[in-house]
Amino acid sequence: MKNLFFDWEVNDHTGWGIYGLNLLIHGVANKKVRPVSLIWPPKINYPLDPITTIELNQLIEDWRKINHNKSENIFLNALGSSSKKLYEKEIFGKTDVAVIFFENWPLQKNYIEKLKCYEKIIVGSKWNFEKLKEINLNSIINIQGVDTENLRLMGKKKYKNKFVVFSGGKLEFRKGQDIILSAFGKFSKKYKDSILITAWASPWAQNVSQSINLSKICEPFTWEENFNKSLKIWAQKNNINSEQFVVLDQFPSRLLPDILREVDLALFTNRCEGGTNLVAMEALASGIVCGISRNTGHKDIINKDNCIPFENQQMVKIPNMDTEDWGETSVDECIHVMELAYLNNKILDKEKVKNSMNSYTWENSINNLFKQVLD
């Protein structure tokens, strides 16, 4: 049994945290690898089922029995667009593996030199894979998973007489919520029965949210007393009536089906994704009609039957930002997709939409990861 140390937090409400949680959950049954989080304990906001709780508690006991023989250990280091490393392989493992989802391209020279030190590099999208190939770095693709059992087709409960648009992901320039806000401001004036539900909260909201102002597409976002109040004021400044704008606090991923069941259309106008965009995958797995920008990591989850792609992707040029291959969806195309979905609620076969995510389970993703690091 090899120990698989990984250096990111385990929780149920952020992308990396959900990745870590599934590493633990699906690692329990593995006979060759035992995942061990170096950031402990997990931060779980929604109670797990009793059996999983017992298994995770057992992992705490396993900490005391860990074999620190380096020849048996593997170390996964989480890297985004930064090459920061919290722990060193000399302490935890013989095999040193980078797990990366980078958005900025070209990469900085010091980042590239850091990557060359790893035995293996695991990336979250074909785009990341191809970009590393351009600089003669070999990598392995491992796509994130979704909870296909929890996410499913369900009928509305709250907004049966409304056309509900959903946007999820932390508020920042890269995620492109400014495009959605501007488009919905115009769309909602014509279609009074429409509502925009936003899940834009994150632990980093105060630090990254004002990057949304880089685009100049909207009236600027300003930080008020708290994030929710800031969003409501921002929406009003951009011609959205308060009764057509719903702000959600951060919530555990297990509760996402209760939100997505109310949704008619989910919009993902992201300018770039180093991975495949977990929230977009979760919306697709719920059979939701989605508008998804055809760029970077998004391309991995788009097929002809499962969404409405935003095809017109303009180049993104921001001073002092490395944004090669990024794409910007136009406000007009976003409005057009909203109208298509509004006027035809059967524009896509929802079963086909849902089924397009059937192979992207967390079980498949984590088991593939184990195979990749053991190979």
Q: Which tops the pLDDT comparison, 115 or 28?
A: 115
Distances (CA, A) of 138 to 77, 126, 129, 215, 285: 17, 12, 8, 34, 31
- For residues 197-220, average pLDDT: 94
Secondary structure of residue 195 in the 3-state scheme = strand
Residue 55 has pLDDT above 90, yes or no: no
pTM: 0.94
pLDDT at 37: 87
Residue 164 has pLDDT above 60, yes or no: yes
pLDDT at 335: 98
What residues form DSSP beta bridges with 292?
A: 268, 309
Residue 86 has pLDDT above 90, yes or no: no
Map 274-311 to HEC letters: CCCCHHHHHHHHCCCEEEEECCHHHHHHCCCCCCEEEC
- For residues 112-136, average pLDDT: 95
- For residues 286-315, average pLDDT: 97
Secondary structure of residue 135 in the 3-state scheme = coil
Secondary structure of residue 196 in the 3-state scheme = strand
Domains 2-145+360-374 and 163-355 in one fold: yes
The Cβ-side half-sphere exposure at 358, using a 13 Å CA radius, reads 7
Please state which of the ranges 35-44, 110-119, 256-265 shows the lowest mean pLDDT. 35-44
pLDDT at 190: 97
pLDDT at 132: 98
Residue 260 token pair: 């997505």
Contact 181, 213 (CB under 8 A): no
What residues form DSSP beta bridges with 310?
A: 293
- For residues 235-262, average pLDDT: 97
d(CA 24, CA 11): 11
pLDDT at 70: 60
d(CA 7, CA 62): 17
Distances (CA, A) of 295 to 46, 180, 323: 33, 17, 12
pLDDT tens figures, 308-332: 999 999 999 999 999 999 999 999 9
Q: Which tops the pLDDT comparison, 124 or 46?
A: 124
Secondary structure of residue 124 in the 3-state scheme = coil
Q: What does the mean pLDDT of the chain come to?
A: 92
Name the residue ranges covered by the structural domains of the chain: 2-145+360-374, 163-355
Residue 91 has pLDDT above 60, yes or no: no
> Integer distance in angstroms from the first to the last C-alpha of the chain?
14
pLDDT at 62: 66
Second-level CATH architecture of 163-355: 3-Layer(aba) Sandwich (3.40)
d(CA 23, CA 202): 22
Residue 77 token pair: 């280091």
CATH fold for the domain made of 2-145+360-374 = Rossmann fold (3.40.50)
Q: Which tops the pLDDT comparison, 89 or 22?
A: 22
- For residues 157-165, average pLDDT: 97
Assign 38 a pLDDT band (cuts: 50, 70, 90).
confident
Query: If you average pLDDT over each of 25-34, 36-45, 186-195, 366-375, which comes out highest?
Result: 186-195
What is the percentage of the chain residues whose pLDDT exceeds 90? Answer: 77
- For residues 90-105, average pLDDT: 82
d(CA 265, CA 305): 15
Residue 61 has pLDDT above 80, yes or no: no
Assign 29 a pLDDT band (cuts: 50, 70, 90).
confident
- For residues 322-350, average pLDDT: 97
Q: Where are the beta strands (DSSP E) in the chain?
A: 2-6, 33-37, 73-79, 95-100, 120-123, 140-141, 163-168, 194-199, 245-247, 265-268, 289-293, 308-310, 313-314, 328-329
pLDDT at 56: 78
pLDDT at 109: 92
Q: Which tops the pLDDT comparison, 128 or 82?
A: 128
pLDDT at 83: 52
pLDDT at 89: 52
pLDDT at 41: 81
